[in-house]
Amino acid sequence: MSSSFYLTTPIYYVNDVPHIGHAYTTIAADVLARYARLQNRDTFFLTGLDEHGQKVQQAAEKANIDPQQHCDRLTPQFQNLWKTLEISHDAFIRTTDSQHKSIVQRALQQLYDKGLIYRAEYAGWYCTFDERFWTEKDITDGLCPDCHRPVERLSESNYFFRMGQFQQQLIDHIHSHPHFIKPESRRNEVLGFLNKPLEDLSISRPCSRLAWGIALPFDPQYVTYVWFDALMNYVSALEYLSPAKARAPYWPANLHIVGKDILTTHAVYWSTMLFAMALPLPHTIFAHGWWTVQGEKMSKSRGNVVDPEAMVKEFGTDAFRYFLLREVPFGQDGDFSREALAGRYTSDLANGLGNLLSRTVTLIQRFADGYVPKPEPSTQTELDHELQTTAETLISTTLPDYLSPERLELHRALEAIWGLIQIANQYIDKTAPWVLAKQPDNRHRLNTVLYQSTETLRLLCAVLYPFLPSTAKNMKQQLGIPLDFSIPLQEHDVTWGRLTPGTQVTKGNPLFPRIDTASRQKGEKSVEHSQDPISHEPTLTPPGSQDKTSDPQQITINEFQKVQLKVAKVIEAERVPKSEKLLKLQVQVGEEIRQIVAGIGKRYEPETLLGKTIVVVANLKPAKLMGIESQGMVLAAGGQEVMGLLTISDDVPSGTMIK
């Protein structure tokens, strides 16, 4: 195995219910851990819970139970969510673990013995919620500058860590390690913070005020400040939860992923603690951005906390993982909306990836008896070259660059993967295997097209796995390919052209089944919409009529929305025997292939329709025309006489709804 890769998330406060913010950090870390394992790196991925402190003590008192019992009750809500989200952490630390507690005490004793911890009297403004003191200049109107709750004047004797003495060392380290704090803007923020003199850090709380914490080994009248205890998890876990049961070989960590809210504690408190303990600093601390909901901070009191379980129930784990990482550049803030998730589900997942797999498997079953045919290199064209080089560059350069801890451009990685998916879908459209299949002379070319499409999907499986693990497994099964995600990728897994001809494909469940993306709320909204298309239709509005609903010819927007219009691609067309007017079409509508009998035969020759992107009514009850079942209707202009077929000029995937 090659180099080690130690990766951490913050340890979350056990008291909060996990929401999309916690899910976000943990999913991002999971993607990187899965990717590193596939790259043969000795990976250790740590997450866990921060269980001490005032909030837990108060909540337990309220529930009239012991704080430990309280933590034990709440812990499963995180563990179960990580299972649902397919988080592949190697260890789960709890700061109430007895081993963690004794490692924290050992470190405190060592720092005390070195004279780096001292006792002093301190007076300041204390915020109970944030569990920290503020100085006079931080406070306005008696409120905490962070959470805006009232602060109280407290004076007490406490223990302090000589943080200030490491200020210059930290500044020098940040300057000499350009990848230490990422993204760049956050690095500048920390340097700005370090422009002011760095004060020493109070690292104790008197037991009289807070009993729920780790006792200071040199003064049991005090417990450890929750951040000192929590940050230590990154090294303590290695001593009892890693396979090596020692700090080596994983320390220094390659990557701490945190939200921007806790950058200072990581970049400043933690770094100076490590200097004091004579331990090397982590390679990179990456602070990602903040999710809001409709522009507002998520909070229980606002009632706008997005529950990841509910999103997964509606869209599935992989779609949720995909959305969070694709929607917002990693490092920037984002606003969550269910509608945006539904939109990406349909456009990127169902119509993009789902469609590519489903049509490829269907085409192989139709035109090659379900076995991947042998390609014929002499039939390759520029299109084949484009497909192959896009896939090769993605694997060899694009993804390793975007996923390196110095960049972590996860959204760009997904964008690049979806770039290949789009090229592969266009490749099928342009090469039109259903047309090639008509001519026996084109057999070799058809074989090449079917092979190349499947080969692209095989490589897509390997690159998608870290992001969408279940989807990649499902794809691999339908394609019948021998990829083993539990071991590092082998050279042939990621080398173009290593797909074995003769591999049998099997149609499975759609990767992303259609969902009704028009939510009830959305429907209601569109009723209120003042500019709906119907009200602008002049022929439907009799002059002088105020009450539009009284015109029997008019329909409401709800009635109109009952008609499902969808984009479809014509893949086969032939005349219905003994009919001048009727054509029998096979059209692709997203993942489905439908048969539609259309009365357009006087206007169109069947072969001129192949590959056309048309509009169909997708929810029409099937009917028989001249004994042939028609599963929908094609839209065309004209009355009795067809004047023109409705087509879409842009490259819109089949199955897309028309609104």
The footprint of ligand ME8 (CB under 6 A) covers: 10-13, 16, 21-22, 24-25, 50, 230-231, 233, 258-259, 261-262, 290-291, 298
In the complex with ligand ME8, which residue's Cβ is closer, 264 or 554?
264
| Whether the Cβ atoms of residue 511 and residue 475 lie closer than 8 Å to each other | yes
In the complex with ligand ME8, which residue's Cβ is closer, 108 or 262?
262
Interhelix angle for 469-479 vs 443-464, to 10°? 150
To ligand ME8, the closest distance from the beta carbon of 183 in angstroms equals 15
To ligand ME8, the closest distance from the beta carbon of 468 in angstroms equals 21
To ligand ME8, the closest distance from the beta carbon of 134 in angstroms equals 18
Q: Which amino acid is at 396?
A: S
Instruction: Go through 571-607 and write b for each residue having 16 or more CB atoms within 10 A of its CB, e for each that does not.
Output: bbbeebeeeebbbbbbbbbbbbbbebbbbbbebbebe
Q: How far is CA 519 from the centre of its chain?
A: 22
To ligand ME8, the closest distance from the beta carbon of 231 in angstroms equals 5
In the complex with ligand ME8, which residue's Cβ is closer, 230 or 436?
230
To ligand ME8, the closest distance from the beta carbon of 104 in angstroms equals 12
Looking at beta carbons, which residue is closest to ligand ME8?
21
| Whether the Cβ atoms of residue 546 and residue 535 lie closer than 8 Å to each other | no
In the complex with ligand ME8, which residue's Cβ is closer, 13 or 133?
13
In the complex with ligand ME8, which residue's Cβ is closer, 51 or 384?
51
To ligand ME8, the closest distance from the beta carbon of 214 in angstroms equals 14
- DSSP H helices, 64-166, are 67-84, 98-113
To ligand ME8, the closest distance from the beta carbon of 391 in angstroms equals 33
Q: Can you say whether the dihedral through the CA atoms of 465, 466, 468, 473 is positive or negative?
A: positive
In the complex with ligand ME8, which residue's Cβ is closer, 82 or 291?
291
Number of Cβ within 10 Å of residue 59's Cβ equals 16
| Whether the Cβ atoms of residue 202 and residue 164 lie closer than 8 Å to each other | no
Distance CA 7, CA 36 (A): 10
Distance CA 177, CA 166 (A): 16
In the complex with ligand ME8, which residue's Cβ is closer, 230 or 368?
230
| Whether the Cβ atoms of residue 104 and residue 214 lie closer than 8 Å to each other | yes
Instruction: Go through 23-52 and write b for each residue having 16 or more CB atoms within 10 A of its CB, e for each that does not.
Output: bbbbbbbbbbbbbbbbbebbbbbbbbbbbb
To ligand ME8, the closest distance from the beta carbon of 9 in angstroms equals 7
To ligand ME8, the closest distance from the beta carbon of 390 in angstroms equals 33
Instruction: Compute CA distances 207 → 90, 108, 214, 231, whole Å.
Output: 34, 17, 10, 21
Q: Which residues contact 525 (CB under 8 A, 6 or more apart)?
A: none
Run of H or E residues at 432: none
To ligand ME8, the closest distance from the beta carbon of 49 in angstroms equals 8
In the complex with ligand ME8, which residue's Cβ is closer, 260 or 498?
260
In the complex with ligand ME8, which residue's Cβ is closer, 22 or 41?
22
To ligand ME8, the closest distance from the beta carbon of 262 in angstroms equals 4
In the complex with ligand ME8, which residue's Cβ is closer, 229 or 318?
229
Number of Cβ within 10 Å of residue 153's Cβ equals 11
Among the listed residues 220, 193, 189, the one whose alpha carbon sits nearest the alpha carbon of residue 204:
220
Could you write out the DSSP letters of every residue in 612-631? -EEEEETTPPPEEETTEEE-
Strand partners, 588: 569, 593
To ligand ME8, the closest distance from the beta carbon of 645 in angstroms equals 48
Distance CA 259, CA 21 (A): 9
Q: Which residues contact 192 (CB under 8 A, 6 or more apart)?
A: none
In the complex with ligand ME8, which residue's Cβ is closer, 18 or 469?
18
In the complex with ligand ME8, which residue's Cβ is closer, 262 or 494?
262
Interhelix angle for 469-479 vs 317-327, to 10°? 120
